[in-house]
Amino acid sequence: MLDATPTTLVERQALRVNPAKTCQPIGAMYSALGIHGCLPHSHGSQGCCSYHRSHLTRHFREPIMAATSSFTEGTAVFGGGANLRQALKTIYKLYDPPVVAITTTCLSETIGDDIPTIIREATESGVIPNGKTVIHANTPSYVGCHITGWSNMTASMVKYLSERSGESRNQVNLIPGYVEPSDTRELKQMLATWGIDAVTFPDTSDVVDTPQTGHFQMYPQGGTTVEALKTTGDSLATIALGPEASTQAAIALDAKCQVPAHILDLPIGVAATDRLVQTLMDVTGTQPTDEIVNARGRLVDVMTDMQAYLYEKRVAIAGDPDQVVPLVEMLVTCGAKPVYVITGAESKYFRDRTQAILGETVPEAVIRDNADLFYLHQLMKQEPVDLLISNVYGKYIARAEDVPFVRYGWPILDRVGHSYFPTLGYGGSLHLLCTIINTLLDRKDRDDPDEVFELVL
């Protein structure tokens, strides 16, 4: 399908081919789903909302509920205020959600709808009933990407809801980043095992991976409650995982309620997870349990045992900055060579951290933010790799170049399991590492001549 991709690189300024990112409101909608009882509302045309919902539905294989202001041509002229007021009336009449989280779209941002004023007037006029919570985030999709949207909505939770009562609580805030529900569950379990009380927000576990019970629940049991979000201003500290996704909310919480922020890489691999564990030790003054220490040991054991199969393997990686940076670190620790590393987002964090990791170990590595998969494919055609790691869109490149392929990141639309098996923490990293190694071993089995085709490693 992509066999005709040309090898010659041409510098492009105003054209993306196969972008390695999606639009802002998708990320904001995903973040909003992490509030308990929240109905996301897309302030724009039905097409935007359908796209956002369907992308989330396809990735998580769960029905994603969201409302829309249903813009028409007239709205583009007269503004979307009347549509939003009517939408809120309908929402409370039909669905009665405890929380509504409004995301804007390209069109409503271009019109310039003043959402805070519309929310205030709707509250004063009784359109928004007493006791109901409505928040919003500005998410124009001609700026940033899905990570920006996630970041904006998560920061809005702080701006609208966090409070400082004056009495501090022996708890930490955990912002897990733009990750799978399984990752959030893994992190929560780690803290629970450790005995650390935490407010994890947004928490999409048990929202987009709900069990089949035979009964439809409009508002699943998961998600961070508004009451818990209000207490985040009294916490000891905020642990923000994934700088691009979580920094904004952590800094907003520090500015609003003076809760110190610790901004860390996503805990992928031993080194990044160690940094998280060390930070938790410093913040709480406690030690991790044997269970956590043993999980670390198992990860180190597999890294040591299987290092020969990753050593010097040339890897191409595309994905979100927060995932790619620690993934590169983990692969380098295991002896692999990430030679092409790209992200669709514009990210100084990505550039600086990836360069710091690869500068001495893989000095020939091509590191590029604000790039696309077409560019990555061209690099791979110039000098092949042994493995490609990217979201689902990399499958076309993997097929064209006959390269082993690990699906990782957002979105994955053609496989199951990504939202159920974590890739964060010691346990999650072990799962991710085994997936990568087994993919390489599958290829080895396919290609080995009979005389070295082994039953036992």
First vs last Cα of the chain: how many Å apart?
A: 35
Kindly state whether residue 309 participates in binding ligand SF4, applying the rule CB under 6 A.
no
Q: Which of 20, 99, 106, 250 binds ligand SF4 (CB under 6 A)?
A: 106
Q: Which of 51, 92, 309, 421 binds ligand SF4 (CB under 6 A)?
A: 51
Q: Which of 5, 18, 20, 23 binds ligand SF4 (CB under 6 A)?
A: 23
Q: Count the residues in the chain.
A: 457
Our CB check for ligand SF4 shows the closer of 23 and 392 to be 23
According to DSSP, residue 189 is labeled H
**Stretch 164-193: interaction string toward ligand SF4, x if CB under 6 A:** ------------------------------
Residue 77 C-beta: closest distance to ligand SF4, Å = 17
The 3-state DSSP composition of the chain as helix, strand, coil percent (nearest 5) reads 50, 15, 40
Size of the site for ligand SF4 (CB under 6 A): 8
Q: Which of 141, 156, 246, 284 binds ligand SF4 (CB under 6 A)?
A: 141
Residue 48 C-beta: closest distance to ligand SF4, Å = 3
Locate 380 and state its tokens. 């791979």
Q: Is 157 left (phi over 0), alpha (psi -120 to 50) or beta?
A: alpha
Alpha carbon dihedral 163, 165, 171, 175, in 10-degree steps, equals: 10
Our CB check for ligand SF4 shows the closer of 45 and 171 to be 45
Our CB check for ligand SF4 shows the closer of 51 and 92 to be 51
Cβ atoms of 198 and 264 closer than 8 Å: no
Kindly state whether residue 345 participates in binding ligand SF4, applying the rule CB under 6 A.
no
Kindly state whether residue 48 participates in binding ligand SF4, applying the rule CB under 6 A.
yes
Kindly indicate which of the ranges 43-51, 151-159, 211-219, 438-446 contains the residues binding ligand SF4, using the contact rule CB under 6 A.
43-51
Strand (E) positions, 220-336?
237-241, 261-264, 314-318
The full DSSP string for 61-88 is TS----EE----HHHHHH-SHHHHHHHH
Our CB check for ligand SF4 shows the closer of 48 and 430 to be 48
Our CB check for ligand SF4 shows the closer of 156 and 224 to be 156
Q: Which of 5, 68, 83, 105 binds ligand SF4 (CB under 6 A)?
A: 105
Our CB check for ligand SF4 shows the closer of 25 and 223 to be 25
No. of helices (H) and no. of strands (E), the chain? 17, 13
Of the candidates 137, 178, 176, which has an alpha carbon nearest to the alpha carbon of residue 321? 178
Locate 208 and state its tokens. 């987009």
For 351, residues 6+ apart whose C-beta sits below 8 A from its C-beta are 367, 369
Compute the distance between CA of residue 37 and CA of residue 387 in angstroms, rounded to an integer: 41
Residue 25 C-beta: closest distance to ligand SF4, Å = 5
Our CB check for ligand SF4 shows the closer of 25 and 338 to be 25
Of the candidates 383, 374, 328, 316, which has an alpha carbon nearest to the alpha carbon of residue 352? 328
Our CB check for ligand SF4 shows the closer of 47 and 359 to be 47
Give the max Cα distance, the chain: 80
Our CB check for ligand SF4 shows the closer of 51 and 309 to be 51
Binding residues for ligand SF4, per CB under 6 A?
23, 25, 44, 48, 51, 105-106, 141
